[in-house]
Amino acid sequence: MNTPIVDFLEKYTASDTVRCHMPGHKGKNGIYRYDITEIKGADSLFEADGIILESEKNMSMLYNTKASFYSVSGSTLCIQAMLFAMKQENRKIIAVRNAHRAFINASALLNLDVDWILPDYRTGILSGRIDLQQVEDKLKATENGCLYVTSPDYTGRMADIKSLAEICHRYGAVLLVDNAHGGHLAFMPENMHPIAIGADICCDSAHKMLVGLTGSAVLHTSSEKYARILRQCMSIFASTSPSYLILASLDLCCKYIDEKIKDDILKNLQYISDFRNDYKGLVLSEGDPFHITMNTAKYGYNGNEFAENLRKNGIECEYSDDNTVILLMSPVNKADDYTRISEALETSFETTYINNIPDMPFLKKLPQKAMTIGQALYMPCEEISIEHAEGRICASVKVPCPPAIPIAVSGEIIDSSCIEIYRRYGIKRVMVIK
Ligand SMILES: Cc1ncc(COP(=O)(O)O)c(C=O)c1O
């Protein structure tokens, strides 16, 4: 596959041109040489008709989409753009609650009034099963709706996108998927990418499961109508100075996908399957295999202590809490990585103190709503200890990343169960309305 952005950068870098243009570092050293602005021939992200468009078309062909648009501001920008498109159509947003804070912030900026679906949580707020009947009941009662789902979620659990798409389309609703964790899914032995199985719009963070630089993401659509407007929707929120380093990494992502990803995925699926067999019971068996989610509490190990012991043995986890440790693998991991993880796990079993660990709490019902997310964002607010927060209205959400999944969202009244969840997730202070 050709790499038009990288080729242009290499040619320009080799030309020894005096750079009488931005950026101020003038490309004097190392990787800075590739960091350019929209000079002639370099195209322009939000008016793309040259090398960027060519590269995006490569991406679109690989994912078999109607159109794919590059983001240098992560899936966060893609989520803002997809919600903006829904707002233009005056659609009512129905969203599954374990959404990333990027969704909450975008909803606040766009002053959207979100209708939540609580998933059937098992342990903690990261993951839960979506009840299809509940989705159908909501959509039936919503005239001009859209459904927002996070899949894979932080633990790797995947929603039944095919059925959700079928239900959405039956009621004239649009299916939006936060597929930030699922850019590789199109190249699994069975294509499980949201666009392939019915989603209308989805975002993939190329920096999470693919080989893009941090900040790289792609907004995909299967719809002719949204293909025409999404670039403009993105431009509303984005910087006018997109990073060519990040764009070049998306270009290289296409090449990697075209030439190597399927083989790499097959190799890793074998390593992961062997690993899972060795640690049956500890590793959750459902969902995306590249998310190795371990229920350490089941064996009496506190996940945070376990993760600390893994760290001492050279393994840095994606996420841990009292119950769970998540290792996030990708197609580029090598056999040796799994060997090192196994060795570190064995040491951690020996060195982590065994105790009785209560399950992580989760929301059993939605907190009472005092105002919309958008109204809450613009009210005067203050930061207080969670110990004094009962009865106060949540202002902007301030939850640590990872997992960046909110407990009470802006405009909701913080109740005692929210406070218990804050405590267990180590959140000590919250923003509330004055
Ligand atoms: C589920 C989910 N959605 C969206 C995002 C935001 O993605 P990005 O960091 O690419 O902006 C994240 C980031 O962690 C995420 O985990």
Encoded tokens for 410: 């802006």
Q: How much is the pLDDT for 397?
A: 83
Q: In what order do the strands lie in the sheet with 319-320?
A: 291-295, 324-328, 319-320
Hey, what CATH topology would domain 4-257 get?
Aspartate Aminotransferase; domain 2 (3.40.640)
pLDDT score for 403: 82
Q: Which residue's CA is minimally distant from atom 14 of ligand 1? A: 402
Separation of 102 CA from ligand 1 center, angstroms?
A: 7
Q: Which distant-in-sequence residues (6+ apart) come within 8 Å of 30 by Cβ?
A: none
Q: Retrieve residue 63's tokens.
A: 């994912």
Find out whether 203 and 185 touch, Cβ atoms under 8 Å.
Answer: no
The token pair at 36 is 């350019």
Residue 153 CA, closest ligand 1 atom number: 1
For the chain, percent of residues with pLDDT exceeding 90 = 87
What letter would DSSP give residue 354? B
Domain spanning 373-433: which superfamily? Molybdopterin biosynthesis moea protein, domain 2 (3.90.105.10)
Contact criterion met (CB below 8 Å) for 317 and 325: yes
Q: Per the structure block, which two tokens stand in for 75?
A: 């899936």
Which pLDDT score is estimated for 377? Answer: 87
Atom of ligand 1 lying closest to residue 78 CA: 11
Mention every residue, 6+ apart, whose C-beta is less than 8 A from residue 419: 386, 387, 389, 390
3-state secondary structure of 320: strand
**How many residues does the structure list for the chain?**
434
Task: Name the pTM for this structure.
Answer: 0.96
Q: Structure tokens of 39?
A: 């000079």
Q: How far apart are CA 394 and CA 55, in angstroms?
A: 42
Name 307's Cβ contacts closer than 8 Å, sequence gap at least 6: 317, 320, 325
Q: How far is the CA of 244 from the centre of ligand 1 (A)?
A: 21
Residue type, 370: A
Q: How many whole angstroms from 95 Cα to the centroid of ligand 1?
A: 16
What backbone torsions phi and psi does residue 213 show, to the nearest 5 degrees?
-70, 160
Q: Which residue has the tokens 């927002």?
A: 148
* Torsion sign across C-alpha atoms 359, 362, 365, 368: positive
pLDDT tens-digit profile, the chain (434 residues) = 999 999 999 999 999 888 888 888 888 888 899 999 999 999 999 999 999 999 999 999 999 999 999 999 999 999 999 999 999 999 999 999 999 999 999 999 999 999 999 999 877 889 999 999 999 999 999 999 999 999 999 999 999 999 999 999 999 999 999 999 999 999 999 999 999 999 999 999 999 999 999 999 999 999 999 999 999 999 999 999 999 999 999 999 999 999 999 999 999 999 999 999 999 889 988 899 999 999 999 999 999 999 999 999 999 999 999 999 999 999 999 999 999 999 999 999 999 888 889 899 899 999 999 999 999 988 999 999 999 999 999 998 877 777 888 899 999 999 999 999 999 999 999 999 99
Note whether 161 and 132 are within 8 A (CB): no
Nearest alpha-carbon partner for 126 in 326, 315, 387, 386: 326
Q: How far apart are CA 338 and CA 290, in angstroms?
A: 12
CA pair distance 304, 294, nearest whole angstrom = 12
pLDDT in the model for residue 22: 87
Respond yes or no on whether the N-terminal peptide bond of residue 367 is cis (omega within 30° of 0).
no
- Nearest atom in ligand 1 to the alpha carbon of residue 216 is 10
Chain centroid offset of residue 132 CA: 22
Phi, psi of 171 (to 5 degrees): -105, 20
CA of 15 to the centre of ligand 1 (A): 38
Rounded Cα distance between 40 and 234, Å, is: 23
Q: Is 120 in contact with 365 (CB distance < 8 Å)? A: no
Q: Which of 282, 279, 283 minimizes the C-alpha distance to 291? A: 283
pLDDT in tens, 300-349: 999 999 999 999 999 999 999 999 999 999 999 999 999 999 999 999 99
Q: What residue has token string 């709706």? A: 145
Domain coordinates in residue numbering, the chain: 4-257, 290-351, 373-433
Q: What is the pLDDT of residues 245-260, one digit of tens each?
A: 999 999 999 999 999 9
Residue 39 C-alpha from the chain's centroid:
32
Q: Which residues line ligand 1 (CB under 6 A)?
A: 74-76, 100, 102, 150, 178, 180-181, 205, 217, 404
pLDDT of residue 16: 84
User: Radius of gyration (Cα) for the chain, nearest Å?
Assistant: 22
CB 243 within 8 A of CB 23: no
